[in-house]
Structures are given as structure tokens and as C-alpha cells.
Chains A and B, each alone.
Chain A
């Protein structure tokens, strides 16, 4: 009977893949991709919670009595568009960082920061 929980496990798997990309990769764009995967896993989580066996899409029609829960759909619908807007903001930041530092690798940026800090101390 535990197998009835498989949707959550898929979500957890996807979420952890996204999480892994975010913490293990230094490239800022790759990190953003990881965040997108993480985000999508949350979307899938909500949508799969709203799903009802033999339910229909929540558009009222004759002869249908059982609908999936519309509330998660609404939340996720807006979340997707908000997500792309924030991702675009992140990409814009990455572009500016590339212009300022000449790199979008985390460790290289850190080295440069350290260098300027040391220079200012001397």
C-alpha cells in the first residue's frame, strides 16, 4: 500500500536533483537551471496533491460530478509566470556579474573578491 505514495517520491527525486545542482555546481547559470528544476518539482507536488481519482479537469460541464481540486492549479499557474520573471531577474544578474568579473564561476568570483579585499587592506 506504500506504493500509493509514489508521486511524492518522484517529487522528492526531482527536488533533490535540483538541490544537488544548486549546491554542487559553481556556474551561476547552471545553478539557475537547478533552481528551475527544484521549482518544477514543487509545482508537480502541488498539482499531484490536487488530483482526484477519476476526476475531471475543473471546468464545469454537464454530467461531470467529480473535479480535481482547482485551488492548487490557480496557485501554480501564477507561480509559473512569477517563476519565469524571477529567473529572468537572476539571469540579468548573472549577465551583469559576467560583465563585472569576466566570469560566472562562483570560485573565480570569490578569488577576485578576496584579491580586491587584500589590496584595499595593504
Chain B
């Protein structure tokens, strides 16, 4: 459907728009499949941040795709053969929604039946993410952190003390034009931030958690940066602060693990953090979700600021 349209379209701007719609569609699809936490993430990432980043990249790399000079037939053949083989492979798979599929037999029953006694958090996804499989999550946060560093090293500009030689008035005017957007977003941003915090701390009971909260938080600040200019945003939220926060988030996560080691438990075993195992679990989950939220938000903001900063530098370079 949308995906096929993406294949056909040559205008990359339209492709990005379609990708946004595609993200939103798959988010609603996840809701239908009972995966509310995943839908939350996909809606904020797939429909929001990824589109923004692609727009920023396209504005630097050019919008039009070159006309085709290759033979799509060979590719089509490869794709058809692979697809056919995959479909043949699915013939042995359990039916959609069947209750006794092998996936549901292994560890899932334990998570569903015992997590309330062992972890004491109603949202099973949160308890699996932050407690049973906290080690995986630590690895994933590390990957995000590394990606942030990668973008930083690829796109960061050398520190320039000397001010740009372009006249500021033309840039000011561009931001002045969107006065309705500015007023409304100024009213909305505090609520978006508040919502992010709610998602962060309510993740134990409803859908949500550090990953989603981080992305929403980042979205609010990116919105500010887009409407009031990157320079203004940088004046308020310094980039080095976020670089520090990204590291601190990961460090917080890992040190929770180390503290539980010192208290005589396994790495990231929260039971020993407090006198009562359940209280220890709550404390541990709260702390590591905070770490996750910090890192994810900071890395997203770092990535966006770097893309946008690079673009402004390019445009200034062309202008002078």
C-alpha cells in the first residue's frame, strides 16, 4: 500500500511524508495487536523523529532521486525468489493468534504469572524490560549512546568563536513569519514536557517508560529548536549539557548494576537494593528507567542539533 508508493516515488520529500504515514499506520497496527508499549514508541519515533531527521538530511543532500539507469528486472527476480522461499517457510508456522504456539510456552507464562509477586509492577512489559532482561536493555542503551557519539563525530563542527558573517535580520524574519505556530507551540511545549515526565514515571502502571518518555521529551525540545531557531535553542539548552546527560544516563544504569553487586546480589539484581525485595525492584526500575530516559532524550537531541547545525553551516557557507 503505502510501501509500494514509496518504491515508486522519486521525490524524496514525498517519500519522507509517506514514511511518516507508514509509521503512524504501523503504530495503530501494533495497538490492534495488543502491543500498546510498542505502539507508543513507534508513534513517536516512526511518525515523528525519523521523519524530521530524514527531512534534515534531505535538505543537505538534495531532494530528487536520479532517474533509473539500472535494470530493475534482476532485482525483482531476486526479491520474488526470496519472498517465495520465505512464504514456503511460513507454511510450517503456527497460525496467527493461536494460543498454544511455541512462543507462548517458554518463558512468557512465568513473566505473566509470577511477575506481580517477583517485581510488583503491573505493566509486564516494563518488568521484563527493566528487571528480567535488564542486561539486554543496558546493551541497547549503550548502542543508542554509541550511535549518538557516531553522529557527533561525523557531523559535529569545530568550535568556532567568530560570529557568522551573514546578516541576522533575514533569518529573524523567517522565524517571525510563523507567529501562530510560535504562540501555540509555546503554550504546548510545557505540556509535552509534562506528558513526557508522566510517561516516564507512570511506565510501571500503564504503557510507557524511559524509551518513550525520552523520545517525547526530545520531540518537545526539537519543536522549540525548529520554531525559535537553533541558536536560541542552543543558548537555552547547551549541547555539552546533553552530551553530559547522555553519558550520565548510561552511567546511572550501569552503576545501579554495580551497586547491586556490592550489596551481594547479581549484576542488576534489584532485590538487594532495599530491605524489601519489592521495594528494591521498584527503586531499581525507577533508577534505570531514569537512566534510559536521560540517554535516549539527550542522544535524540544531540542527533537533531548536529543535523540542523550542519545544515545551517552549509547554508551560511553558500550564502557568503
Chain A interfacial positions (CB closer than 8 Å to B)? 1-2, 4-9, 12-21, 23-30, 32-33, 36-37, 40, 43-44, 47-53, 55-61, 66-89, 91-96, 98, 104-105, 107-108
Q: B79: which of A9, A23, A43 is its contact (CB, 8 Å)?
A: A23
Q: In the complex, are the beta carbons of A21 and B7 less than 8 A apart?
A: yes
Distance (whole angstroms) from the CB of B204 to the closest CB of chain A = 10
Given contacts A29-B12, A47-B30, A80-B41, 7 further A-B contacts (CB under 8 A): A17-B3, A43-B26, A59-B125, A70-B111, A76-B35, A84-B49, A91-B307
B128 at the interface (CB under 8 A from A): yes
Task: Rank and list the top 7 A-B pairs by shortest CB-CB distance, nearest first.
Answer: A4-B95, A85-B147, A24-B75, A8-B90, A53-B97, A91-B57, A68-B34
What is the CA–CA distance of A31 and B12 in the complex, to the nearest angstrom?
Answer: 11
For residue A8, which residue of chain B has the nearest CB? B90
What is the CA–CA distance of A67 and B33 in the complex, to the nearest angstrom?
Answer: 11
Q: In the complex, are the beta carbons of B86 and A12 less than 8 A apart?
A: yes
Which of B45, B104, B300 gathers most chain A CB within 10 Å? B104
- Residues of B near A44 (CB, < 8 A) are 26, 29-30
- Residues of B near A6 (CB, < 8 A) are 96
What is the CA–CA distance of A32 and B6 in the complex, to the nearest angstrom?
Answer: 12
What is the CA–CA distance of A72 and B233 in the complex, to the nearest angstrom?
Answer: 38
Mind listing 6 A-B residue pairs with CB under 8 Å?
Answer: A60-B116, A60-B123, A74-B125, A74-B128, A98-B60, A107-B70
Distance (whole angstroms) from the CB of A99 to the closest CB of chain B = 8
Distance (whole angstroms) from the CB of B243 to the closest CB of chain A = 15
Known: A6-B96, A74-B129. A40 touches B12 (CB 8 A): no
Q: B33: which of A2, A51, A71 is its contact (CB, 8 Å)?
A: A51
Main secondary structure of the interface of A (DSSP, over half): helix
What is the CA–CA distance of A34 and B122 in the complex, to the nearest angstrom?
Answer: 37
Q: Which of these binds chain A: B133-141, B179-187, B260-268?
A: B133-141
- Residues of B near A13 (CB, < 8 A) are 83
- Residues of B near A15 (CB, < 8 A) are 83, 86
Distance (whole angstroms) from the CB of A92 to the closest CB of chain B = 4
Q: In the complex, are the beta carbons of B128 and A71 less than 8 A apart?
A: yes
B144 at the interface (CB under 8 A from A): yes
Distance (whole angstroms) from the CB of A41 to the closest CB of chain B = 9
For residue B95, which residue of chain A has the nearest CB? A4
What is the CA–CA distance of A31 and B228 in the complex, to the nearest angstrom?
Answer: 32
- Residues of A near B35 (CB, < 8 A) are 47, 50-51, 57, 68, 72-73, 76
- Residues of A near B4 (CB, < 8 A) are 17
Q: B6: which of A21, A91, A104 is its contact (CB, 8 Å)?
A: A21
Distance (whole angstroms) from the CB of B19 to the closest CB of chain A = 6
